[in-house]
Amino acid sequence: MEIRQLRYFKEVAEREHISEAAIHLHVAQSAISRQIANLEAELGIELFERVGRNVKLTPIGKIFLEHCTSALQAIDFAKNQVDEYLNPEKGTIKIGFPTSLAGHLLPTVISAFKKEHPNVAFHLRQGSYDFLIDAVKNRELNLAFLGPLPTKDDSIHTTILFTEDFSILVPSNHPFAKRKSIPLIDLRNEDFVLFPEGYVLHKLAVEACNSVGFTPMISSEGEDMDAIKGLVAAGLGVTLLPESTFYDSTPRYTVKIPIETPSIRRTVGIISPVTRDLSPSEKVFHNFAMQFFSRLGQYQ
């Protein structure tokens, strides 16, 4: 069994068309057909069945694809590690991040890192909270920023970079806009603007309100930070957001107000897999991020 055969098989399986796979791989169609036939002969099974001009995986072919994908990911990862050990300053770092950390944290730390390591490249992947955790577990990513950090998961390492409070964001013409602080219970009759159900910031906001005895009335939802802030600015409700989302500025026509009680906080940090070592460039970045936020914390 050859790596080339596995790559040909995976390409055909994903495209369900041999000629399209051949075009993408820049090889002759006959070469792909021959290598897949050799692979099937070695395994003693049929991996594909023909459906008109297309091909589809057989049931056993689908099982083989799962293992083939994992094997190729492991091989590519190993090759990248070898390349980076030869020159860790020219590696590529793949990092996942959620929308709540995209506006300030990510560009700030990467910009500072690039000043010291200008030849290291970055591949950035934005995703939901659960997606990022699964991506680290399933070899799609080795590093991901996350807030809050998950607890009680033996398959991932967690490194806290900082802890931050939540604040209330209200329209600038809101009756509470001139207050210095607000007990969360005072918002029990307010309309809320939140991320949709399934987003971790939705969960944190609802749990905070429940902790003081009410369920927030959700009038509007937005799927990114700018949408949430824009809906508040338009007067459609109030929201709860972490401090790091206000680092650049508080949006026009809104006012940020500290929460008096209860204390609502989240940890922000990096997750990495327990079962895999980080590449040299990933280790350098991980250590840099820890030192970077440690230095920032000394002046806060």
Q: 1-5, 77-81, 124-128, 281-285: lowest mean pLDDT where?
A: 77-81
- What are the tens digits of pLDDT across the range 259-277? 999 999 999 999 999 988 8
Question: Which top CATH class is 90-300?
Answer: alpha beta
Name 140's bridge partners. none
Confidence (pLDDT) at 152: 80
- What are the tens digits of pLDDT across the range 195-244? 999 899 999 999 999 999 999 999 999 988 889 999 999 999 999 999 98
- pLDDT tops 80 at residue 84: no
Q: Where are the domains of the chain?
A: 3-85, 90-300
Mean pLDDT calculated for residue range 103-119: 89
* Distance (Å, whole) CA 225 – CA 74: 35
Mean pLDDT calculated for residue range 3-25: 89
- What are the tens digits of pLDDT across the range 33-81? 899 999 999 999 899 988 887 889 999 989 999 999 988 888 887 777 7
- pLDDT tops 50 at residue 299: no
Confidence (pLDDT) at 134: 93
Asked whether 242 and 164 are in contact (CB, 8 A), the reply is yes
Q: Name the residue among 214, 174, 177, 216 with its Cα closest to residue 195.
A: 216
Confidence (pLDDT) at 85: 66
Confidence (pLDDT) at 267: 92
Asked whether 29 and 22 are in contact (CB, 8 A), the reply is yes
Confidence (pLDDT) at 136: 92
Higher pLDDT, 255 or 277: 255
* Reported confidence tier of residue 109, pLDDT bands at 50, 70, 90: very high
Please provide the CATH number assigned to the domain covering 3-85.
1.10.10.10
User: What is the pLDDT of the chain when averaged over all its residues?
Assistant: 89
- pLDDT tops 80 at residue 284: yes
* Reported confidence tier of residue 87, pLDDT bands at 50, 70, 90: low
Q: Between the ranges 25-29, 209-213, 247-251, where is the mean pLDDT highest?
A: 209-213
Give me the amino acid identity at 282: E
* Reported confidence tier of residue 248, pLDDT bands at 50, 70, 90: low
The tokens 């409700």 sit on which residue? 237
Confidence (pLDDT) at 77: 76
- pLDDT tops 80 at residue 153: yes
- What are the tens digits of pLDDT across the range 157-202? 999 999 999 999 999 999 999 999 999 999 999 999 999 998 999 9
